[in-house]
Amino acid sequence: MVIENKISKNIYLIGFMGAGKTSVGKILAKKLRRKFCDLDEIIESECGKTVSRIFSEHGEDFFRDLESMKLRSVSKNSGQIVATGGGVVLRQVNWEVMERAGITVYLKTSPDVVWNRIKNDTSRPLLQVEKPFEKVNELLSKRIPLYEKADLIIETENQNGMAEQRRFFFGLVEHGIKAPVIIKRNYSDTPFDEVRLYASTDLGALLVDGFGDGVWITVEDLKTNESSKNIYIKSFINQNESEQKIINRLLFGILQATRTRISKTEYIACPSCGRTLFDLQETTEMIRKRTEHLKGVKIAVMGCIVNGPGEMADADYGYVGSGVDKITLYRGKEIIKRNIPSSGAVDALIELIKEDGNWLNYPQIE
């Protein structure tokens, strides 16, 4: 998951020879008003030799070392569009540099398109062989899994942004593009109560369809709606938490609810009705505060037993109202403690989780 960094990151264009990394990079840099740099050009001007000459005089390994060195030094600066050489993806160290300093975008091309663009070009040393088209195919088949590690970030300003992004995903499926996609949305001038709602529907709807590999939201000046009476929302905004942590928590929640990534405890609660003799929202919140770090544990909080067994059938633990100030605790479908006073019921639930070896002392979510 990505949370926007205040300093804009680098965008690394990756892809096979002839994919258009330099041409696209220049256009993108102009559009985004960013600095453009081309790794091969930097290498050539600093060595005073063409890439072809470096290959022929010193060999490929020497060129790859230079390439990694230049990538590292270029990546000390931020906010740039970087056109890389087609082989930059071959070394894991290069990925580490690119992932730390920015995002990677793969310009995909078919072998035929590549071939048409570069067949008369003698500046690519790797293709100066007897059967260059076969070589293109050979190199591409080895490299495609590497290029496909690139991130794709999709953002929209469309009022019906979710539908637009869904259409984009269909396009990817149609074209057989398997690159990981980060779904990005921006919520400015929106109180946090609404950010939660919009982000959950905008991102969640795509994630439940199986689209998207990461989520990214930008929120300017996080605020709550003064009129909000919702205690869960209030508890979300904790004085000691940074904006980034609050947004992280929201996004982990969305990933969890859509089953994209389980990172914390799962809660099931009934909607509460006249039979519920305790404040269900408050109690769930009290239980959540003490147990939310138990990744993968499922806890049901039920007002009474009427809906209980059905709704909490797959829960690991059940906290079920059984009378005025009385709670019955379940392990799975089995009653463990009947009619205990509600004042000690959360402690008793935690004891039960500890007895089962499912307790963890330290929160895992950062």
Closest to ligand S3P by CB, 87 vs 308, is 87
Closest to ligand S3P by CB, 86 vs 253, is 86
Looking at residues 41 to 60 of the shown chain, list those that interact with ligand S3P (rule: CB under 6 A). Answer: 51
Closest to ligand S3P by CB, 85 vs 102, is 85
* H, E, C per residue of the chain: CCCCCCCCCEEEEECCCCCCHHHHHHHHHHHHCCEEEEHHHHHHHHHCCCHHHHHHHHCHHHHHHHHHHHHHHHCCCCCEEEECCCCHHHCHHHHHHHHHHEEEEECCCCHHHHHHHHCCCCCCHHHCCCCHHHHHHHHHHHHHHHHCCCCEEEECCCCCHHHHHHHHHHHHHHCCCCCCEEEEEEECCCCHHHHHHHHHHHHHHHHHCCCCCEEEEEECCCCCCCCCCCHHHHHHCCCCCCHHHHHHHHHHHHHHHCCCCCCCCEEEECCCCCCCCCCHHHHHHHHHHHHCCCCCCEEEEECCCCCHHHHCCCCCEEEEEEECCEEEEEECCEEEEEEEEHHHHHHHHHHHHHHCCCCCCCCCCC
Closest to ligand S3P by CB, 124 vs 185, is 124
- 301 token code pair: 């909080």
* Least distance to ligand S3P, CB of residue 172, Å: 23
126 binds ligand S3P (CB under 6 A): yes
85 binds ligand S3P (CB under 6 A): yes
124 binds ligand S3P (CB under 6 A): yes
Pick from 11, 13, 17, 136 the residue near ligand S3P by CB under 6 A.
Answer: 17
125 binds ligand S3P (CB under 6 A): yes
25 binds ligand S3P (CB under 6 A): no
Pick from 29, 74, 86, 187 the residue near ligand S3P by CB under 6 A.
Answer: 86
Closest to ligand S3P by CB, 40 vs 316, is 40
* Least distance to ligand S3P, CB of residue 151, Å: 19
Closest to ligand S3P by CB, 56 vs 242, is 56
Pick from 40, 151, 292, 316 the residue near ligand S3P by CB under 6 A.
Answer: 40
Closest to ligand S3P by CB, 23 vs 242, is 23
| Position with the least CB separation from ligand S3P | 85
* Least distance to ligand S3P, CB of residue 202, Å: 36
Closest to ligand S3P by CB, 15 vs 204, is 15
Looking at residues 292 to 321 of the shown chain, list those that interact with ligand S3P (rule: CB under 6 A). Answer: none
* Least distance to ligand S3P, CB of residue 209, Å: 35
Name the residues that contact ligand S3P, by CB under 6 A.
17, 21, 40, 51, 85-87, 124-126
